[in-house]
A and B are shown apart, each in its own frame.
Chain A
Amino acid sequence: MRNLRTYGKNINLIIGGFILMMFFIMMVVSFFYTPYDVNSMDIANKLKPPSADHLLGTDEFGRDIFSRIMQGTQTAFFVGAVSVSIGMVFGTLIGGVAGYFGGWIDEIIMRVIDALMAFPGIILALMLVAVFGTGMINTSIALGLMAIPGIARIARSGFLQSKELEYVQAAKLMGLSQMKIMFKHILPNVASPLIVAASIAFAVAMLAEAGLSYLGLGVQPPDPSWGRMLKDSQSYLVSAPWYTYAPGAVITLMVLGLYMVSNAIRDIHDPR
C-alpha cells in the first residue's frame, strides 16, 4: 500500500514536471525557431486542415497554427510569471504584515481582503482591465492584483502560526529587527504553502487570461495568445474544428501540469 502511494505522488510530479518542461523547451525554441513566421499571412490558404505543411492547420488569416501555439508559450509564461510575481510579492508582504503584527492592522487588511474575495474573480478582472486597459502587460498586472488576496490569506495564516514558534520568540528576545524576523526566520517556514499557492495562481492566471480573451479583453493581437486563439476559433467551430482543438488542448495541458506539480509539492511537504 505504502509503495503505491509514494508512486502515485511521484507520478504527479513526474508527469506534471514533464509537461511543464516540454512547454518550457517549446518556449525557448520559439525564440529562435518557428516553422513559419507567426504573423505572416497567406490569406489564400486560410483555414486549411492539418497537413504536412501545416502540422495543426492554418487560421482565418492563413497563419500557421503550430507556430502560433509555439510562440504562445512565451505569452503564457510571461502572463503567468508576471502575475504570479506581483501576487507573491504583494500578497506575502500584505499577508505577512497582517499575520505577524495582528491587532487592528490585521483587522483592516483582512476586511479589505474579504471584500475583494467576495467579488467573483472575473468581475474584479473585468474592472481591473477597464482601469489598466488590455494587452499583455496590463492583463498580467490585472491578473497579478487578482491573485493578491488569496496569497495574502495563505501568507497570513502561515505567519500567524509561525510567530508563536519558540525560535521566533527567541529571535524576538534577542532583539532582532522585525523585518529580519519576518523574512529571514518566518518566511522560509511558510515557503511550501506559498509555492503551492504560486503554482495554483499561475494556473488560475492562465484560465483567467483565456476567460478575458473570450470576452474580447485580455491579450491582444498580434501577440499569439492561446486564450485569444481559442476565442477566435469559436466562429469556425463547425467549419474548422481543428482550429479550436490545438489552443484548447495546450491550455488544458499546461494548467494540468501546474496543478499536478502543485499537488505533488503539497503532498511531499505536508505528508499525512
Chain B
Amino acid sequence: MRNFFKIFITFSTLLALVIVVSACSDKEENSASKGSDEDNGVNIRINNDPDFLDPHMAQASITFQMILNIFDGLLVGDTDGSLQPALAEDYTISEDGLTYTFTLRDGVTFHNGDPLTVEDVQYSFERLMGVETGEALSSNFENVASLDAPDENTFIITLKEPNSAFLSYLTALHSAIIPKNNDGKHNEKPIGTGPFQFSNYSPENNMVLVKNENYWKEGLPYLDTVTFTFQPDDQTALLSLQAGEMDIVAVGSHRVPEVEKDFNIEYQDSNSVLLVGYNQLKEPFNDIRVRQAINYAVNKDDVIEAAFSGYATKLGSNMSPAAGEVHKEGLEDAYARDVEKAKQLLAEAGYKDGFSTTLSISSHAALYTNVAQVVVENLKEVGIDVEIEVVEWGVWLEKIYQGRDYDMTIIDFTGELSPYETIERYQSDASGNLFNFSNEEFDGLMKDVLTESNVDRQIEIYHRAQEILSEDAAAVYMADYQIIWALNPKLEGYKLYPYFFHDLSEVKWKK
C-alpha cells in the first residue's frame, strides 16, 4: 500500500521537476532555435489545406495563395492589379480583338531542369480546354477557336468572338504553364517555372517549397525554403507567432493590440465583397422596395465594428476600392442607415407590419454568424423578423448556392483580377447568380463590355453596372474586410496584392 503511494509521489515529483526545470530554462533561447531565420526560410500560417496541387484542378484562393510561388502564367497580376508580362515577354492583340500573339521568354527552365518550350504552353492550354479528353477543366477557354505555335518562340491564341476580359485568364491563376512531360503527375508532384519548387506536402500539416536556383528573374528568390503550415485555429496560430515558430500569420482584427508592438503589421484590402443576399424570385424580395428597405435597415458601420473591429472598407456595390479605378466611388452611402425610410418603403410594398423570413448561413466561418447576428438585430428594428439557420458549408453550397432554395443569406466573394469576373454572376442566366437577380440593362452592358476594346469605355460600363446593382438593391453590399498580417519584424520585401497571393520571391531576412 505504502509502496503504491511512494510510486505515486515519486512520479508527481518527477513531473513537477521536469516542469520546473524547463520553466527555468530561458524561453528566448527556446524560441530562437525554432525560428527559421537561421536556415534562411520562412514559416507562414495558412488556415486550411489546398484543394488540389495541380494548378488546373485547384480553384480555392487559399491554394493559389501558396502555389503561385510555384507556377507562372503567360502574364501576371501586379500589386496594383494591372497585368504584366511573365512567361510571355511581349504580346500583341489584333485590330479585331480576335488574335493574341505571344512572344515567349528565353532561357526559362522548369524545376525539373527542362527548358520551357512552346509545346508546353500549347499542352497547358489544351489540357484546360480538354482537347484530348473532351472534358474541359475550365470554361474560360470555350471561346478559343485555335491554338498555334508557328515557331519556337511564338504562341498564338485565336478567339471566336472578341472578349476584353480574356487577358485576365492568362495568369497562373487561370492557366498556369506546366511541363508536358509531367502529365498525369501534376497533382502529386507539381512542376512549374516559379521562384520556388515543390518539395513536400503533408496533409493537414504543412507544405514545403525550396528555392528554384534557376529562376528566370536574376538574383531571386532570396529565401532557401518556404513552409506553409496549415493551422485552422486562430488562437494556436497566434501563439505560434508569439513563440517565434511562425513568421507570417493573419490575425483577427480584435487581436491587433496583442501583436502590434512586437510585429510588423500590414493591412491588406482583401478585394472581397461581404454581402447579404436574398432570393429575388421569392416574395417579398421580388419587390424592389423591400430590398431597398433592407438596405436602409442594415447598419454597415455596426457590422464592420462588430465583426472586424473597424478594419474593413464600407461598400456600396459588388466591387471593392481595391480593384482600382474600375471601382465606382460614392455608392457606399447610397443607403445610409434610415429606419424611418425603411419602414415607409416596407409599408408601401404592403408590409406595414413587417414579415418573417429565414437567414441561412454556413457554419464554416465564425464571420457569418457574427455578421448575421448584427443584421438580424438591425432588421428587427424595422419589423422584419429573421430567424438564423446555420448549415454546414457543403449544405450551403448545395442547397443555397446551387439549389437557390433560401430566403436570405450572407456570403463573401473573393475578388478576381478581372472586373468582369467579379460582377459576372449578376447576369440573368449566370450559373453563380444565386440571387436570381435580373436586369436587362445590366445583361446588355455585360455583353457590350466584352467587345469594347477601349479601356476608358470599359471602365464607364463597369461603373454603370455597379450603379445598377446599387439602384436595384441586388444585395446589401457591406464590406471589404482587411486581412491583417503580422510579420516577423526582421522580414522585409513582403508585398501585398489585390488577390490572395503570398509573394515570397522578394522576401528576405534583414541583416
Contacts and interface: CB of A to CB of B under 8 A. Distances in A.
Nearest to A41: B377
Given A134-B363, A216-B363, A236-B254, A61 B373 contact: yes
B302 interface: yes
Contacts of A134: 363, 390-392
B342 to A, nearest CB: 18
A41 B392 CA distance: 26
B80 interface: no
Interface string B221-236: 0000000000000110
Interface stretch (A94-102, A158-166, A217-225): A217-225
Contacts of A130: 392
A39 B374 CA distance: 9
Contacts of A21: none
Contact of A239 (B257, B306, B390, B392): B257
Nearest to B303: A43
A238 interface: yes
A43 B300 CA distance: 12
B305 interface: yes
Contacts of B370: 60-61
A216 B255 CA distance: 20
A112 interface: no
A142 to B, nearest CB: 13
Contacts of B252: 235
B366 A216 contact: yes
B258 interface: yes
B506 interface: no
Interface of B is mostly: helix
B243 interface: no
A220 B390 contact: yes
- Which of B305, B366, B390 counts the most chain A CB atoms within 10 A? B390
Nearest to A237: B235
Nearest to A217: B363
Interface in B370-413: 370, 372-374, 376-377, 388-392, 395
Given A40-B377, A239-B257, A221 B369 contact: yes
Nearest to A39: B377
A46 interface: yes
Interface string B255-272: 101100000000000000
B34 interface: no
A134 B395 CA distance: 11
A47 B373 CA distance: 16
A40 B378 CA distance: 10
B490 interface: no
Contact of A43 (B258, B306, B372, B392): B306
B306 A135 contact: no
A160 to B, nearest CB: 37
Contacts of A252: none
Contacts of A40: 377
A221 B366 contact: no
A6 interface: no
Interface string B277-294: 000000000000000000
B391 A133 contact: yes
Contacts, number: 65
A234 interface: yes
A58 to B, nearest CB: 12
A234 B395 CA distance: 26
Contact of B373 (A46, A133, A135, A222): A222
A55 to B, nearest CB: 22
Contacts of B377: 39-41
Nearest to A60: B306
A57 to B, nearest CB: 15
A46 B306 CA distance: 8
Given A41-B302, A46-B306, A222-B376, A135 B257 contact: no
A222 B234 CA distance: 23
B305 A43 contact: yes
Given A43-B305, A222-B373, A236-B254, A135 B363 contact: no
A216 B364 contact: yes
B306 A61 contact: yes
A253 to B, nearest CB: 25
B254 A222 contact: no
A234 B235 contact: yes
Nearest to B394: A130
B486 to A, nearest CB: 14
Nearest to B395: A133
Interface string A148-174: 000000000000000000000000000
A220 B235 contact: no
Contacts of B254: 47, 60, 235-236, 239
Contacts of A47: 254
Interface string A115-140: 00000000000000010011100000
Interface in B208-260: 234-235, 252, 254-255, 257-258
A217 B376 CA distance: 20
Contacts of B363: 134, 216-217, 220
Contacts of A235: 234-235, 252, 254-255, 366
Nearest to A40: B377
Given A235-B234, A235-B235, A135 B390 contact: yes
Interface string A40-57: 110100110000000000
A102 to B, nearest CB: 41
B467 to A, nearest CB: 30
Contact of A41 (B257, B374, B388, B391): B374
B194 to A, nearest CB: 35
Nearest to B380: A39
Given A216-B364, A239-B254, A221 B389 contact: no
28 contacts: A40-B377, A41-B373, A43-B305, A43-B306, A61-B306, A61-B370, A130-B392, A133-B389, A134-B390, A134-B391, A216-B363, A216-B364, A216-B366, A220-B369, A220-B389, A221-B373, A221-B390, A222-B373, A222-B376, A222-B388, A232-B366, A235-B234, A235-B255, A236-B254, A237-B235, A238-B258, A239-B255, A239-B257
Given A220-B363, A232-B366, 12 more contacts: A39-B373, A39-B376, A41-B302, A60-B370, A133-B395, A134-B391, A134-B392, A221-B369, A235-B235, A239-B255, A239-B257, A239-B258
